[in-house]
């Protein structure tokens, strides 16, 4: 399968580049910007993208692509920082500008753009002027040797550059951002026009390739998958049941006590429909709640939950008599990135996703006994794979639910009483969204129980009750998000439904924060 490799220098948009190329039907892989070329990386690679970066290319210690990548003889699309770095290293100059070029900015194609027949695959059909999306404080002042400017910004700054002798293109704007006019067209011209990539990326192709890889790795040994009830682990379960012998697949559902209302029954029903032969539900509510008693720190909660998962799982594995089983997980591409797991350059840990960073998982990983059949997929691709595997829409269309469950939606310490209150409020909220036809328009919605009580009135009496926050966001993959713009009437009615039916809740608020700066979950 042809692929495009993206060298990540830490731009907030790197993920988008990866997604967009896949949307074009070509496999893309994001690797740290300084990665040295090796046979594995270059196999089937037909082009390279250099991403943007928060760094300045002229700074000491600025991140650099390795020569081996640049000398691989492949087409290159250098975006923003990428082209600035190439400019400096070809004897050109880049300087900090007094004013940033930021946001929607027109680009003008110069007559030279049309003159060069060699570049027609890239430029043909593009209008003389289009509105791009820019985000840079540094600008190219003089192109490097061999580079030619064929498009400029309103201020005359080079915005599209081409190399005279190599199939290299530089852009001082972001075609991957949806606000950039002709952005997809520009990417597609690079991918198909310049790299001559063949479309091979589809969920059917992924299923086939990944199935081969995993069969080769596990042979006939047992594989154990922890099921959380969410879309990812259910799709991972369906994947294993489809690609391996169902007799070797052990599905273990742990009821942590932090699940949503009626989730247990729903999960078990769905899994048996998948044809599972070994399916076990473990009631571990008491163990989880005891371990969490009195703990308020979010990171500590996540670690406790993650480790308890492993402990309960190890006990179950011992009972099942499969101690050496491979451990399967529904980890996604974005989980690895947000946990700083070495995909791309974004090494800081935003949240420790327990399914990635738990020390016990790390041990299994070091032994080479973890399999993650979804770890190259974005969330929407997981849904598409679920459909290919024949899962019903009510499962693949479900909103994401985090591994630590309600544990990260009850702020402060966790008790069974609080879990029950939150379960009730959340189920009313979700039912209301479905009833109003809003569920499928929202990427993720849930309630959060706040660690404060607030004064209210109940009949003639003052009451001191809990406050819940409603969250509803729109997103493409959970990496960025915007609050959903409800009609006020819907919000008021949902609030009334919750306070009328959950006596412990006296107040409902709506969270209007975007990600960034907030995250989707509150902890």
Strands (E) in 164-306, as ranges, are 168-171, 223-227, 249-255, 278-283
Q: Which stretch binds ligand XMP (CB under 6 A): 24-32, 211-219, 348-356, 415-423?
A: 348-356
The contact pattern for ligand XMP, residues 162-191, with x = CB under 6 A and - = no contact, is ------------------------------
Query: Closest approach of Cβ 443 to ligand XMP, in Å?
Result: 8
Q: Which stretch binds ligand XMP (CB under 6 A): 197-205, 237-245, 347-355, 365-373?
A: 347-355
- CB-side neighbour CA atoms (13 Å) of 90: 21
> With CB under 6 A, what is the number of residues at the site for ligand XMP?
14
Which residues from 16-35 bind ligand XMP, rule CB under 6 A?
Answer: none
Sort 90 into a burial class: Cβ within 10 Å, 0-12 / 13-18 / 19+: middle
Cβ-contact 204, 382 below 8 angstroms: no
Distance, CA of 177 to chain centre: 16
Residue with Cβ nearer ligand XMP (93 or 427): 427
Residue with Cβ nearer ligand XMP (2 or 426): 426
Which residues from 75-94 bind ligand XMP, rule CB under 6 A?
Answer: none
Residue with Cβ nearer ligand XMP (123 or 270): 270
Sort 204 into a burial class: Cβ within 10 Å, 0-12 / 13-18 / 19+: exposed
Residue labelled with tokens 């600035």: 84
The contact pattern for ligand XMP, residues 103-132, with x = CB under 6 A and - = no contact, is ------------------------------
* Degrees, nearest 5: CA angle 84-89-92: 65
Residue with Cβ nearer ligand XMP (164 or 347): 347
By CB under 6 A, tell whether 351 contacts ligand XMP.
yes
The DSSP result for 86-113, as a single string, is HHHTTT-EEEEEEEEEEEEEEEEE-HHH
Q: Give first-to-last CA distance, the chain, whole Å.
A: 39
By CB under 6 A, tell whether 520 contacts ligand XMP.
yes
Sort 470 into a burial class: Cβ within 10 Å, 0-12 / 13-18 / 19+: buried
Q: Which stretch binds ligand XMP (CB under 6 A): 149-157, 164-172, 182-190, 351-359?
A: 351-359
* Of 69, 28, 377, 6, nearest in space to 197 by CA: 28
By CB under 6 A, tell whether 303 contacts ligand XMP.
no
Cβ-contact 264, 284 below 8 angstroms: no
Which residues from 359-418 bind ligand XMP, rule CB under 6 A?
Answer: 400, 402-404
Residue with Cβ nearer ligand XMP (127 or 516): 516
Residue labelled with tokens 């902890």: 523
Q: What is the dihedral of CA 171, 177, 179, 180, to 10 degrees?
A: 20
The contact pattern for ligand XMP, residues 438-457, with x = CB under 6 A and - = no contact, is ------x-------------
Query: Closest approach of Cβ 248 to ligand XMP, in Å?
Result: 25
Query: Closest approach of Cβ 333 to ligand XMP, in Å?
Result: 12
Cis amide bond preceding 11, omega within 30: no
Q: Which stretch binds ligand XMP (CB under 6 A): 352-360, 415-423, 484-492, 506-514?
A: 352-360
Alpha-carbon distance 341 to 351, whole Å?
12
Alpha-carbon distance 469 to 450, whole Å?
7
Alpha-carbon distance 408 to 329, whole Å?
20
DSSP 515: B
Alpha-carbon distance 4 to 516, whole Å?
28
Query: Closest approach of Cβ 458 to ligand XMP, in Å?
Result: 33
* Of 98, 44, 39, 36, nearest in space to 64 by CA: 36
Find residue 447's DSSP bridge partners.
Answer: 470
Residue with Cβ nearer ligand XMP (181 or 335): 335
Tell me the C-alpha to C-alpha distance, in Å, between residue 275 and each of 98, 204, 319. Answer: 64, 21, 22
Query: Closest approach of Cβ 331 to ligand XMP, in Å?
Result: 8
Q: Which stretch binds ligand XMP (CB under 6 A): 284-292, 421-429, 433-441, 513-521?
A: 513-521
Query: Closest approach of Cβ 353 to ligand XMP, in Å?
Result: 4
Which residues from 245-274 bind ligand XMP, rule CB under 6 A?
Answer: none
Q: In the set 97, 108, 436, 515, which binds ligand XMP (CB under 6 A)?
A: 515
Q: In the set 22, 260, 346, 353, which binds ligand XMP (CB under 6 A)?
A: 353
Q: Point out the residues that are catalytic.
A: 80, 174, 176
Query: Closest approach of Cβ 237 to ligand XMP, in Å?
Result: 15
Query: Closest approach of Cβ 405 to ligand XMP, in Å?
Result: 9
Query: Closest approach of Cβ 250 to ligand XMP, in Å?
Result: 20
The DSSP result for 2-32, as a single string, is -EEEEEE-S-TTHHHHHHHHHHTT-EEEEEE
Q: Which residues bind ligand XMP (CB under 6 A)?
A: 351, 353-355, 400, 402-404, 444, 478, 515, 519-521
């Amino acid at each position: 399968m042809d692929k495009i490799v993206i060298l990540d220098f830490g731009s907030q948009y790197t993920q988008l580049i990866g997604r967009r190329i896949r949307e074009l039907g070509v496999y893309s892989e994001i690797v740290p910007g300084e990665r040295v070329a090796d046979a594995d990386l270059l196999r089937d690679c037909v082009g390279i993208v250099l991403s943007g970066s928060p760094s300045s290319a002229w700074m000491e210690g600025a991140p650099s692509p390795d020569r081996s990548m640049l000398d691989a003889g492949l087409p290159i699309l250098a975006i923003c920082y990428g082209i600035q770095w190439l400019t400096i290293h070809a004897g050109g100059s880049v300087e900090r500008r007094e004013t940033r070029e930021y946001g929607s900015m027109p680009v003008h194609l110069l007559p030279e753009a049309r003159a060069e027949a060699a570049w027609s695959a890239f430029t043909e059909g593009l209008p003389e002027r289009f509105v791009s999306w820019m985000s840079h404080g540094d600008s190219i002042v003089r192109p490097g040797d061999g580079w030619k400017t064929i498009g400029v910004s309103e201020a005359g700054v080079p915005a599209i550059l081409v190399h005279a002798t190599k199939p290299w293109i530089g852009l001082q704007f972001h075609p991957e951002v949806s606000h950039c006019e002709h952005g997809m067209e520009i990417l597609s011209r690079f991918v198909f026009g310049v790299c001559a990539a063949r479309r091979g990326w589809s969920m059917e192709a992924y299923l086939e390739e990944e199935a081969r890889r995993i069969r080769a790795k596990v042979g006939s040994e047992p594989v154990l998958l922890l099921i959380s009830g969410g879309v990812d682990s259910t799709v991972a379960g369906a994947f294993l049941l489809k690609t391996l012998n169902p007799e070797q697949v052990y599905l273990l559902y742990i009821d942590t006590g932090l699940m949503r209302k009626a989730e247990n029954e729903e999960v078990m029903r769905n899994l048996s429909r998948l044809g599972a032969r070994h399916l076990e539900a473990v009631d571990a509510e008491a163990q989880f709640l005891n371990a969490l008693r009195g703990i308020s720190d979010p990171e500590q909660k996540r670690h406790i939950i993650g480790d308890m998962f492993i402990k309960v799982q190890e006990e179950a594995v011992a009972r099942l008599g499969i101690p050496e089983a491979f451990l399967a997980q529904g980890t996604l591409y974005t989980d690895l990135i947000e946990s700083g797991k070495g995909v791309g350059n974004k090494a800081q840990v935003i949240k420790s996703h327990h399914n990635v960073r738990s020390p016990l998982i790390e041990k299994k990983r070091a032994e080479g006994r973890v399999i993650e059949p979804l770890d190259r997929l974005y969330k929407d691709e997981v849904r598409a794979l679920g459909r290919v595997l024949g899962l019903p829409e009510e499962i693949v269309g479900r909103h994401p639910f985090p591994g630590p469950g309600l544990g990260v939606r009850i702020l402060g310490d966790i008790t069974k009483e609080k879990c029950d209150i939150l379960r009730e409020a959340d189920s009313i909220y979700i039912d209301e969204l479905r009833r109003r036809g809003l569920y499928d328009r929202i990427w993720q919605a849930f309630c959060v129980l706040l660690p404060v009580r607030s004064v209210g009135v109940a009949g003639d009496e003052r009451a001191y009750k809990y406050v819940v926050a409603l969250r509803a966001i729109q997103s493409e993959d959970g990496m960025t998000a915007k609050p959903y713009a409800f009609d006020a009437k819907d919000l008021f009615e949902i609030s009334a439904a919750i306070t009328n039916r959950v006596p412990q809740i006296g107040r409902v608020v709506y969270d209007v924060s975007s990600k960034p700066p907030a995250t989707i979950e509150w902890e």
